[in-house]
Amino acid sequence: MFNKRVMAVFKREVKERVISKGFIYMTILLPVFMFGIVGIQTYLYTEQSTKYNLIVISETQDLTSRIQDDILSSDLIKENYAFRFYTMSKEQLNNFLNENKKELLDEKITGVIYLPASALNDKKIEYYSKTPHNLKLSEKLSGHINKVLVDAYFNNKQLSQDELNFARQAVNFSGLKVTKEAGFEEEGYGSLVLSYLFTFLLYMSLLMMGQMILQSVIEEKTSKIVEVILSSVSSKELMTGKILGSAATGTLQMIIWLSPVVLVASTTLFALPPDITINVTTIQIVYLIVNFFFGLMIFLGLFATVGSIFDNSQDAQSGLWPVMILIIIPFFIAFSMIQNPNSAIGNAASLFPLANIIVMPARMVIVDVPLWQLFLTILINIATFFAIFPVAGKIYRVGILRTGKKPSWAEVVKWLKYRY
């Protein structure tokens, strides 16, 4: 099966793909784009440049001194926050707001936080600002204010300091991953991020490489070059060379895409916040790439077959739905599994032929998957390939030399009986 002719086709295929603009753009731009989005989010989130000039007004002297003590002793002062503290009644506040309207509108004063005495009953406080819905600000301050209110509320009730501390504390979820090894690993969001990343990359690559081979088969068919080639190589050799070439290219692309992940996971060059550290082993990455290679070969075989049936891209796209379903459904299963890692469908799909290419990598980083299951999926994919290839090859062989009327599915099934 692997001879000089297959090698020649393989080489041409790789060369054509790898130096194509589409490949270069996608390979470089996709990670840049993804990291860019993450980066922009992080940047916006931690943005330091805006100066917050806040005025905290309490209705009672007691609240004022408490909030002043708490905030001034916190880290907020080190950041770009400036505070002024006053005690005022509701009416005084209204006057104050009217007097300082200009500053508020010019954002010289970012906002005024009003803690009425009633807040000790209902924890309702008021925030006056040109832009009152500032999530970041409320997130930063609500903890402090809550603490002050809790302290003030319980102050004249007979409670021990321990009880107070408990009441003050917000709920803290620690995700602990159960693994085979002794002990539990504390786990952050890194696994979820990785799971999404794998799902997305695998999905993108399957679609992209699939479309590429589809177009390439249609081009060979419509430009009539296929007959010249078939006078030298057999259709099986041509198909093998094309699939191997595209699969190698896709795998190369996947390796390039995953190398930042490996770099982040295995070195300390990039300091990530502790709750998004990523935890992935070399075996898992190697598995992902190997399994992807075999899975990609199956899908490329299917895409090439669809391409061979049709004369033009439009017809081919409309005839592509059975293959698309095989990619899109696992994609959604993988996503749903990230939300519920123990779903039965997810577990089944992670072993199912074709579906496992996307689902298993997403699953293995959030659930502890035994190694034998990983090897099993590779074997399943290889077996699937050898089961599908003869049938696909037969349709391909008939299809590539056929032109004219768009064939029906029934006709395509009939091709299988042809002696070509």
Partner 1 sequence: MIALEVKNLTKRFDKILAVDDVSFEVPEGSIFGLIGRNGAGKTTTIRMMMNIYLPDKGEVTLRGSRVGQEFKNRVGYLPEERGLYKKMKVLDTLLYFAEIKGKSGKEVEKKAVEYLKRFELYDRRMSKIEDLSKGNQQKIQFITTVLHDPDFIILDEPFAGLDPINTNLLKEIILEMKEKGKVIIFSTHLIDYAEKMCDHLAMIDHGKIILKGALIDIKSKFAQRNVSLTYEGDISFLHNNHIVEKINNFGNTTGIRVKEPQYAQQLLRLLVDNNVQVKQFNANDISLYEIFIELAGREDGKEAANVQ
**Binding footprint of partner 1 on the chain (CB under 8 A):** 4-5, 8-9, 12, 16, 219-220, 223-234, 401, 414, 419-420
Number of H helices, E strands in the chain: 18, 6
- CB 216 to partner 1: min, Å: 9
Who contacts 318 (Cβ-Cβ below 8 Å, separation ≥6)? none
Report, in Å, the least distance between residue 420 CB and partner 1.
Answer: 6
Measured from the CB atom, the residue of 45 and 420 that comes closer to partner 1 is 420
Nearer to partner 1, 19 or 171 (CB): 19
| Cross-strand pairs, 246 | none
Distance, CA of 386 to chain centre? 32
Contact between 287 and 363 (Cβ < 8 Å): no
Q: Do residues 401 and 308 make contact, with C-beta atoms less than 8 angstroms apart?
A: no
Q: Based on CB atoms, which residue is closest to partner 1, 176 or 391?
A: 391
Q: Kind of pairing, strands 111-115 and 52-58? A: parallel
What does residue 53 show for φ and ψ, rounded to 5 degrees?
Answer: -110, 100
How far apart are alpha carbons 416 and 155 in whole angstroms? 85
Closest to 363 measured CA to CA, from 249, 268, 287, 263: 287
Residue 3 beta carbon to partner 1: minimum distance, rounded to whole angstroms: 9
Least separation in angstroms between CB 11 and partner 1: 8
Nearest distance from C-beta of residue 227 to partner 1, angstroms: 4
In 10 A of CB 242, how many CB atoms? 24
CB 391 to partner 1: min, Å: 17
Nearer to partner 1, 5 or 144 (CB): 5
Kindly tell me which of 50 and 232 has the beta carbon lying closer to partner 1: 232
Nearer to partner 1 among residue 231 and residue 267 (C-beta) = 231
Between CA 186 and CA 202 the distance in angstroms is 27
